[in-house]
Amino acid sequence: MNYKIAVIPGDGIGPEIMNEALKVLDKVGEKYGHSFECTKVLAGGAAIDATGKSLPQETLDVCKASDAVMLGAVGGPKWDNLPGGERPERALLGLRKELGLYANLRPAIVFDELADASPLKPSIIDGGLDILIVRELTGGIYFGERKTEPGTEEEGMVAWDVEKYSEMEVKRIAKIAFDMAAKRGGKVCSVDKANVLDSSRLWRKTVAEMHAADYPEIELANMYVDNAAMQLVRGPKQFDVIVTSNIFGDILSDEASQITGSIGMLPSASLGEGNFGMYEPIHGSAPDIAGQNIANPIATILSVGMMLRYTLGLGEEADAIEKAVNDFLKAGHRTADLVAPGEEFKSTSETGDLIAALI
Ligand code: NAD
* DSSP state string for 159-193: EEE-----HHHHHHHHHHHHHHHHHTTSEEEEEE-
Helices (H), the chain: 14-32, 45-51, 57-64, 90-98, 122-125, 167-183, 198-214, 225-234, 246-260, 298-310, 315-330, 348-358
Separation of CA 80 and ligand 1 centre (Å): 14
Q: Is 288 in the pocket of ligand 1 (CB under 6 A)?
A: yes
User: Region 16-37: what's the mean pLDDT?
Assistant: 98
Average pLDDT over residues 310-322: 96
Nearest CA residue ID for atom 11, ligand 1: 286
pLDDT tens per residue across span 248-280: 999 999 899 889 888 899 999 999 988 999 999
Nearest CA to ligand 1 atom 6: 286
Ligand 1 within 6 A of 285 CB?
yes
Q: What pLDDT score was predicted for residue 1?
A: 83
For the Cβ of 14 lying below 6 angstroms from any atom of ligand 1, the answer is no
Say if CB 236 and CB 256 are below 8 A apart: yes
Give yes or no: 80 in active site: no
pLDDT > 70 in the chain, percent:
100
What pLDDT digit, counting tens, does each position of 160-173 carry? 999 999 999 999 99
Whether 223 shows a pLDDT value over 80: the answer reads yes
321 has which bridge partners?
none
* 147 assigned to active site: no
Averaged pLDDT, 294-309: 97
pLDDT higher than threshold 90 for residue 318: yes
Catalytic: 346?
no
Which residues 6+ apart lie within 8 Å of 106 measured at CB?
132, 133, 135, 253, 256, 257, 266, 268, 282
pLDDT confidence tier of residue 149, bands split at 50, 70 and 90: very high
Q: How much is the mean pLDDT over the chain? A: 95
pLDDT, tens only, 108-131:
998 888 888 889 999 999 888 899
Is residue 103 predicted with pLDDT exceeding 80? yes
Annotated catalytic residue 327:
no
Distance 285 CA to ligand 1 centre (A): 4
**pLDDT exceeds 80 at position 84:** no
291 C-alpha vs ligand 1 centroid, how far in Å? 14
Separation of alpha carbons 332 and 114, rounded Å: 10
Beta carbon of 295 within 6 Å of any ligand 1 atom: yes
User: In angstroms, what is the span from residue 267 Cα to ligand 1's centroid?
Assistant: 13
How far is the C-alpha of 289 from the C-alpha of 345, rounded, in Å?
Answer: 15
pLDDT higher than 80, residue 332: yes
Who's near 208: CB < 8 A, 6+ residues apart? 220, 222
Q: What residue ranges define each of the domains in the chain, with the CATH number in brackets?
A: 1-102+283-359 (3.40.718.10), 119-259 (3.40.718.10)
Q: Is 298 in the pocket of ligand 1 (CB under 6 A)?
A: no
pLDDT of 261? 80
Distance CA 345, CA 352 (A): 13
Residue ID of nearest Cα to ligand 1 atom 20: 295
pLDDT of residue 152: 98
pLDDT (mean) for 187-196: 98
Q: What integer pLDDT is reported at residue 143 of this predicted model?
A: 87
Look at residue 85 and tell me whether its pLDDT is greater than 90: no
Cα(258) to centroid(ligand 1), Å: 14
Rounded CA-CA distance 249/130 in Å is: 16
